[in-house]
Amino acid sequence: MIREILSLLAWIASSLAAGAIGGLASRGAPEFYAQLDRPPWAPPSWLFGPVWTTLYLLIGIAAWLVWRERRRVDVRPAIGLYVVQHVLNALWTWIFFAWRQGGLALAEIVVLALLIVATMIAFARVQRVAALLLVPYLGWVAFATALTAALWRRNPTLL
């Protein structure tokens, strides 16, 4: 029981750590985001932190649910996709906020969304609930994709 709890906490911590790596690039994000010409449906900058924290918790729990099945089924492909999409997730923040490359950020987030779908499919083959826990993540990334496109289009000199 203690081992299960510790492994769950480790998966959540690794997910939050991946978010923190991306977060390093967004230190000046609120100021930069505030100066952008945003569409009326763009959320306020304060909303991103709580949303991403919740999503990273769900992502970590999902990975843990899959990892727990490792004795029953080969989970390496699913966990591999999980790791790759996490890397791309962190990379997007660097591309958009630190390097201010709107077009590249848009292309990258589209690939990220596709990798999330692939991860969900791989997770579903191992543990259905794990795949369902990624639905809010996919929804938010789909929204972020539309927002990235709108921001890039509206701010060609800044991005």
Averages of pLDDT over runs of 10 residues in the chain (159 residues) are 94 95 87 94 94 98 97 97 96 95 97 98 98 98 98 93
117, 139 Cβ separation under 8 angstroms = no
Task: Give the per-residue pLDDT at 55.
Answer: 98
Integer angstrom CA distances of residue 44 from 47, 49, 145: 6, 11, 16
Tokens of 71: 């004795």
| 3-state helix vs strand vs coil in the chain, percent to 5 | 80, 0, 20
The answer to whether the beta carbons of residues 130 and 73 sit under 8 Å apart is no
pLDDT in tens, 51-94: 999 999 999 999 999 999 999 999 999 999 999 999 999 999 99
Two tokens at 144? Answer: 């972020």
Domains of the chain, start order: 2-154 (1.20.1260.100)
Q: Which residues of 1-31 are buried (b: 16+ CB within 10 A; e: fewer)?
A: eeeeeeebeebbebbbebbebbbebbeebee
pLDDT, position 28: 82
